[in-house]
């Protein structure tokens, strides 16, 4: 029998990465639960932002970049990208409602 596709890859650079590849134990607290990530797909506000071709191009560029970290620093100066990031954060971590007592 042939080995599974992952075993045939010539180098790690060719293989799709997984979350475990990039998260250390210290990063574990930053992991977003899958249920919260699904909320991103349900957000009308986020969908509206993603209709913007300029934002889509920025996201494609980040996705394809070798040095994502320095590119992100640059893009965090772009109001449109910041609006997108803020929208994602509001969905993942809704702001605490002030002056409301827990039930």
DSSP conformation letters of 45-91: HHHHHHT-HHHHHHHHHHHH-S-HHHHHHHHTTSHHHHHHHHHHHHH
How many angstroms separate the CA atoms of 10 and 46, rounded? 38
Tell me the per-residue pLDDT of 17-69, one tens digit each, with 9 for 90 and over: 565 665 566 666 667 888 888 999 999 999 999 999 999 999 999 999 999 99
Q: Which residue has the higher pLDDT, 70 or 29?
A: 70
> 91 with 39: CB under 8 angstroms?
yes
Q: Output the six-digit token pair for 46.
A: 């986020």
Whether the pTM exceeds 0.85: the reply is no
**In this model, does residue 100 exceed pLDDT 70?**
no
Residue 1 is predicted with a pLDDT of 55
**In this model, does residue 82 exceed pLDDT 90?**
yes
**In this model, does residue 84 exceed pLDDT 90?**
yes
CA distances, 15 to each of 8, 68, 71 (Å): 10, 18, 23
């Amino acid at each position: 029998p042939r080995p599974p596709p992952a075993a045939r890859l010539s180098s790690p650079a060719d293989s799709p990465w997984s979350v475990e590849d990039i998260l250390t134990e210290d990063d574990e607290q930053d992991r977003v639960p899958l249920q919260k990530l699904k909320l991103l797909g349900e957000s009308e506000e986020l969908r509206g932002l993603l209709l913007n071709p300029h934002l889509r191009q920025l996201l494609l560029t980040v996705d394809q970049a070798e040095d994502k970290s320095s590119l992100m620093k640059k893009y965090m100066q772009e109001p449109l990208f910041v609006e997108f990031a803020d929208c994602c954060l509001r969905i993942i971590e809704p702001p605490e409602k002030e002056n409301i007592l827990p039930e």
